[in-house]
């Protein structure tokens, strides 16, 4: 009966139904809904509401209230239809009074739902979750004052992770809405419009309050705040501050100060560092209390928390300038009493003072060094204690020297800037610093400088290679590797090859040097030495992989060489693939990712050198990526690599051999019927192949239009296969097509999909039957739109709402 009613209503011309008749009919449908909750009746109700007098709130109040009520219904199809229709009806309102009344009604029902009791167990009233999901869709259509009331009604103190996840989703969507309504700068940052500042500030403060919650909630809250504070300009003009901007900054600083006073952790401290950078030189006005609180932690914090506190104070030093920070925390040494204060600032100054005035160092740092020297002279030597510790100090001298890399680091950085300044190489870090120095050379002077430096650079390279291996078994610092890479690019390649070979001959694993250090050194030389050194590098990698030691470093080095050297890819292609296929996949997820990245590069390369249908190496590599992973983490990594590979083949087709993307899809489809290790593909191989195709279809639904045989081949498995995993995989594939394809494109396929799914609509397994019903419902909805075309705006809105249904956490 419901279907018949919908059929009749959609075929009656709208002009034949008066507004009064539509209102009466709407009330009848509401009563019918109270007797039987059906998604079709909900759609009829929405259709009738559009025919009512939308400027008369009393005439439509009952219908709008029903739509909002059924938006939190326990039945999935009813809830979905009500949510879609409610959003559509809200956007059809033109009267401001009606909008205000409807918004008040939504807020009232939302408040009544979220005020229900919530405990830590899983027995949460699902209406709370469904109503919060509903509000996410209505946010753009609510006035800003109603949005702020909804925020205040949220149960921020809830212990349930499901509720907190939705609260954060709700507030993040609100922030994005305010940003979309604000001014976007040319550098992709946002200046919040003044009329939204109060609401934006309120949400930021609410999220800041969650930084002391459980780990998952605090991590998400920290991520949101760091992103927003890195993208949103709080002050449009550092010289002119509006009252609203001032209030916003004060509120945010107070919220973070309260969090800091409660519990400073790895979630709140990075947010505070980001706020220092955002506010800039005005931090001295608004964040001085936070700075004082951070200083308290320096005397009692340890580990990662202390490191985060140092980063926060370092950001304050950069934006406020060390002179201002020194006024808050003066460093002093009393040579007579042998006491000192605030010396914890010294390492922070060393790492974060950039382009400070010379006067600051003369007035501050130089007197400190003199005081330290005077204090050292006044310390009486205790000869007996000295004798006891002489041997101990001598035994640990080398370890101390190795740990104190301060001087070596400065030599390495100075060498990098010296070489880059004369060789015309780009600065990897500190580029703005040296631009401000104004150091520029002419070409002639650069050539003369490089000629004079070249003999010394070779010696420096040999010295830094020795330093590189002195850190064994630890990995060398980044500045050592950056210096070696920089020097190799400045020296002639023939000289670099000689130094490289001699370094590998002089240092071996037998001498206690981990093989991963040799591989890491080899990767630093790749760009300068060229293909001639491939054999030496490859032999080291092969030895490491076969022995099963340092898998991650070996795979990473191999990937880097494959990316940077096209000659290596060509000359060692089969050799590398045979090596990888002969190895067991590593259990470590990082190593596995590097292995899959190697396969990605080799797979794309194989498309260039083999004809379609004869790429047996490609089939084997796809088998390793698609079928081999068995746990969730490895399957997730494999899926990411597959999507990356398809993206490369779509964006960079071969000009000589077009269609590599289609060949890639065909190779995956081949696994539905044939396996390189079994002959005829077993069920688990089919299931994995279907899952891979589903993933690619969700990323690019045009596959089934580009290759018309994909859908029939997949649907054919439903007739031939009784394995439950294969059936579920096929249903996931079809769902991706139905959800993501535009209405007009789906119309060409819906008949074949119906024929393939209909026999499974009566399946005994509930989850399969419900999945089939859901797919058929979406098809019905989209095809009905096709049969009765909407305006382009309405069609875009419908497709957006349907495509988002699968991700809504019902």
pLDDT in tens, 652-685: 655 445 578 888 888 888 888 888 877 788 888 8
The region of weakest confidence among 147-161, 171-185, 273-287, 309-323 is 147-161
pLDDT for 156 equals 66
H/E element, 332: strand 332-334
Is the residue at 510 inside a domain? Answer: no
Name the percent of the chain lying above pLDDT 70.
Answer: 70
pLDDT for 396 equals 38
The region of weakest confidence among 50-54, 301-305, 804-808 is 804-808
Tell me which residue range forms the domain holding 666: 575-670
pLDDT for 395 equals 40
Compare 620 and 401 and report the one with higher pLDDT. 620
Q: Are residues 643 and 730 in the same domain?
A: no
Is the residue at 26 inside a domain? Answer: no
CB 698 within 8 A of CB 671: no
Question: Quick check: helix, strand or coil at residue 593?
Answer: helix
Q: Quickly state the pLDDT bin for 707 (edges 50, 70, 90).
A: confident
Q: Are residues 714 and 809 in the same domain?
A: yes
pLDDT for 158 equals 66
Q: Which long-range contacts (C-beta less than 8 Å, at least 24 apart) are formed by 114-118?
A: 114/153, 114/154, 114/155, 115/153, 115/155, 118/155, 118/158, 118/159, 118/160, 118/163
Is the residue at 786 inside a domain? Answer: yes
Is pLDDT at 240 greater than 50 in this prediction?
Answer: no
Is the residue at 611 inside a domain? Answer: yes
The region of weakest confidence among 344-358, 391-405, 456-470, 540-554 is 391-405
Q: Are residues 698 and 808 in the same domain?
A: yes
Q: Are residues 634 and 699 in the same domain?
A: no
Is pLDDT at 91 greater than 70 in this prediction?
Answer: yes
507-524: average pLDDT: 60
**CA-to-CA distance for 498 and 496, rounded, in angstroms?**
5
pLDDT for 622 equals 92
In this structure, the number of other CB atoms found within 10 A of the CB of residue 348 comes to 21
195-211: average pLDDT: 81
Choosing from 670, 704, 734, the residue where a domain stops is 670
Q: Are residues 772 and 730 in the same domain?
A: yes
Work out how many domains the chain is built from and give that number. Answer: 2
Q: Are residues 660 and 719 in the same domain?
A: no
pLDDT for 49 equals 80
Is the residue at 651 inside a domain? Answer: yes
In this structure, the number of other CB atoms found within 10 A of the CB of residue 641 comes to 20
Q: Are residues 762 and 792 in the same domain?
A: yes
Highest mean pLDDT among 126-130, 149-153, 423-427, 601-605: 601-605
Question: Quick check: helix, strand or coil at residue 185?
Answer: coil
Is the link from the previous residue into 473 a cis peptide, with omega within 30 of 0? yes
Is pLDDT at 602 greater than 60 in this prediction?
Answer: yes
3-class DSSP string for 617-654? HHHHHHHHHHCCCCCHHHHHHHHHHHHHHHHHHHHCCC
Q: Quickly state the pLDDT bin for 600 (edges 50, 70, 90).
A: very high
pLDDT for 390 equals 38
Q: Are residues 764 and 666 in the same domain?
A: no
Q: Are residues 617 and 706 in the same domain?
A: no
Is pLDDT at 365 greater than 70 in this prediction?
Answer: no
Is pLDDT at 329 greater than 90 in this prediction?
Answer: no
pLDDT for 531 equals 44
In this structure, the number of other CB atoms found within 10 A of the CB of residue 405 comes to 18
Q: Are residues 660 and 699 in the same domain?
A: no
Is the residue at 742 inside a domain? Answer: yes
Compare 515 and 632 and report the one with higher pLDDT. 632
- Helix-, strand-, coil-residue percentages of the chain, each rounded to 5: 75, 0, 25
CA-closest candidate to residue 492, choices 539, 551, 423, 430 = 423
Question: Quick check: helix, strand or coil at residue 587?
Answer: coil
CA-closest candidate to residue 292, choices 307, 278, 270, 309 = 309
pLDDT for 278 equals 81
User: In a 10 Å sphere around its CB, with 0-12 CB exposed, 13-18 middle and 19+ buried, how is residue 662 labelled?
Assistant: middle
**CA-to-CA distance for 501 and 497, rounded, in angstroms?**
6
At 691, list the tokens: 């899952």
Q: Are residues 690 and 809 in the same domain?
A: yes
Q: What is the pLDDT of residues 30-80, one digit of tens each?
A: 888 777 777 778 878 788 788 788 888 888 888 888 888 888 787 888 888
* Residues paired with 332 in a beta bridge: 341
Choosing from 670, 695, 716, the residue where a domain stops is 670
For residue 620, what are the contacts with CB-CB under 8 A and spacing of at least 6?
577, 581, 676
Q: Quickly state the pLDDT bin for 809 (edges 50, 70, 90).
A: very low
Is pLDDT at 495 greater than 90 in this prediction?
Answer: no
Choosing from 641, 670, 699, the residue where a domain stops is 670
Compare 369 and 58 and report the one with higher pLDDT. 58
The region of weakest confidence among 227-241, 421-435, 487-501 is 421-435
Please give the DSSP secondary-structure letter assigned to residue 681: P
Is pLDDT at 431 greater than 70 in this prediction?
Answer: no
Is the residue at 259 inside a domain? Answer: no
CB 484 within 8 A of CB 461: yes
Compare 787 and 634 and report the one with higher pLDDT. 634
Q: Are residues 702 and 780 in the same domain?
A: yes
At 597, list the tokens: 């990245």
For the chain, give the mean pLDDT: 74
H/E element, 190: strand 190-191
**CA-to-CA distance for 134 and 113, rounded, in angstroms?**
12
pLDDT for 655 equals 44
444-450: average pLDDT: 71
pLDDT for 28 equals 82
pLDDT for 509 equals 43
Is pLDDT at 401 greater than 70 in this prediction?
Answer: no
CB 6 within 8 A of CB 44: yes
Q: Quickly state the pLDDT bin for 404 (edges 50, 70, 90).
A: very low
CB 518 within 8 A of CB 507: yes
Name the percent of the chain lying above pLDDT 90.
Answer: 5
For residue 435, what are the contacts with CB-CB under 8 A and spacing of at least 6?
none
**CA-to-CA distance for 805 and 790, rounded, in angstroms?**
20
369-376: average pLDDT: 57
Compare 356 and 576 and report the one with higher pLDDT. 576
Is the residue at 474 inside a domain? Answer: no
**Phi and psi at residue 708, in whole multiples of 5°?**
-60, -20
At 681, list the tokens: 């593909």
Highest mean pLDDT among 315-319, 354-358, 657-661: 315-319
pLDDT for 402 equals 42
How many residues appear in the chain?
A: 810
At 654, list the tokens: 């071969």
């Amino acid at each position: 009966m419901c279907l018949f009613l919908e059929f009749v209503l959609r075929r009656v011309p709208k002009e034949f139904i008066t507004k009064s008749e539509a209102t009466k009919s709407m009330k009848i449908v509401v009563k019918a809904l109270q007797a039987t909750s059906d998604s079709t009746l909900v759609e009829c109700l929405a259709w009738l509401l559009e025919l009512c007098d939308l400027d008369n709130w009393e005439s439509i109040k009952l219908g709008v209230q029903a739509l909002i009520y059924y938006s939190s219904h326990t039945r999935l199809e009813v809830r979905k239809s009500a949510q879609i229709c409610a959003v559509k009806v809200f956007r059809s309102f033109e009267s401001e009074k009606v909008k205000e009344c409807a918004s008040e009604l939504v807020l009232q029902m939302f408040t009544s739902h979220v005020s229900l009791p919530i405990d830590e167990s899983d027995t949460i009233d699902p209406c709370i979750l469904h109503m919060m999901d509903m509000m996410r869709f209505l946010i753009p259509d609510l006035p800003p004052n109603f949005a702020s009331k909804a925020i205040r009604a949220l149960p921020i103190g809830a212990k349930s992770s499901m509720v907190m996840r939705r609260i954060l989703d709700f507030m993040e969507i609100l922030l994005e809405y305010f940003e979309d309504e604000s001014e976007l700068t040319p550098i992709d940052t946002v200046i919040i419009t003044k009329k939204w500042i109060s609401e934006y500030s309120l949400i930021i403060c609410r999220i800041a309050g969650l930084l002391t919650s459980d780990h998952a909630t605090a991590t998400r809250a920290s991520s949101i705040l760091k992103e927003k504070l890195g993208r949103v300009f709080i002050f449009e003009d550092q010289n002119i501050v509006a009252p609203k901007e001032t209030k916003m900054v004060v509120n945010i600083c107070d919220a973070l100060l309260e969090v800091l006073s409660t519990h400073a952790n790895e979630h709140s401290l990075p947010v505070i560092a980001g706020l220092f950078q955002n506010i800039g030189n005005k931090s001295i006005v608004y964040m001085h209390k936070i700075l004082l609180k951070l200083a308290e932690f320096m005397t009692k914090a340890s580990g990662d928390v202390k490191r985060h506190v140092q980063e926060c104070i370092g950001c304050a030093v950069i934006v406020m300038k060390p002179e201002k920070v020194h006024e808050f925390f003066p460093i002093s040494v009393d040579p007579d009493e042998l006491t000192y204060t605030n010396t914890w600032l010294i390492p922070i100054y060393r790492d974060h003072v950039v382009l400070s005035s010379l006067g600051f160092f003369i007035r501050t740092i130089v007197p400190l060094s003199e005081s330290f020297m005077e204090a050292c002279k006044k310390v009486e030597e205790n000869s007996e204690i000295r004798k006891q510790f002489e041997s101990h100090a001598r035994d640990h001298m080398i370890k101390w020297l190795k740990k104190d890399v301060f001087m070596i680091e400065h030599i390495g950085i100075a060498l990098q800037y010296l070489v880059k300044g004369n060789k015309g190489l780009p600065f990897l870090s500190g580029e703005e610093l040296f631009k401000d120095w104004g150091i520029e050379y002419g070409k002639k002077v650069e050539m003369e400088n490089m000629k004079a430096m070249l003999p010394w650079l070779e010696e420096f390279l040999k010295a830094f290679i020795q330093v590189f291996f002195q850190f064994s078994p630890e990995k060398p610092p980044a500045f050592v590797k950056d210096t070696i890479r920089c020097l190799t690019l400045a020296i002639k390649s023939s000289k670099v090859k000689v130094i490289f070979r001699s370094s590998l001959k002089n240092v071996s694993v037998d001498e206690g040097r981990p093989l991963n250090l040799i591989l890491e050194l080899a990767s630093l030389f790749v760009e300068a030495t060229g293909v001639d050194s491939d054999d030496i590098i490859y032999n080291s990698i092969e030895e490491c992989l076969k022995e099963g030691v340092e898998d991650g470093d070996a795979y990473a080095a191999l990937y880097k060489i494959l990316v940077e050297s096209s000659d290596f890819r060509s000359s060692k292609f089969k050799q590398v693939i045979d090596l990888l296929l002969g190895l067991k996949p590593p259990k470590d997820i990082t190593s596995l990712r590097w292995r899959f990245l190697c396969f990605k590069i080799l797979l794309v390369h194989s498309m260039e050198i083999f004809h379609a249908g004869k790429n047996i190496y490609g089939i084997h590599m796809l088998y390793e990526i698609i079928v081999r992973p068995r746990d969730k983490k490895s399957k997730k990594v494999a899926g990411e690599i597959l999507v990356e590979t398809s993206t490369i083949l779509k964006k960079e087709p071969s000009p000589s051999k077009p269609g590599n993307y289609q060949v890639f899809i065909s190779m995956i489809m081949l696994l539905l019927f044939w396996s390189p290790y079994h002959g005829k593909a077993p069920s688990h191989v089919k299931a994995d192949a279907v899952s891979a195709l589903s993933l690619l279809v969700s990323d690019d639904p045009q596959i089934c239009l580009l290759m018309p045989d994909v859908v029939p081949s997949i649907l054919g498995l439903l007739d031939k296969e009784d394995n439950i995993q294969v059936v579920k995989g096929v249903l996931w594939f079809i769902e991706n097509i139905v959800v993501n394809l535009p209405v007009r494109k789906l119309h060409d396929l819906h008949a074949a999909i119906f024929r393939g799914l209909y026999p499974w609509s009566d399946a005994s397994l509930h989850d399969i039957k419900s999945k089939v019903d859901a797919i058929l419902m979406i098809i019905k909805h989209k095809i009905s739109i096709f049969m009765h075309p909407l305006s382009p705006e309405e069609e875009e809105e419908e497709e957006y709402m349907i495509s988002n249904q699968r991700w809504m956490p019902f």
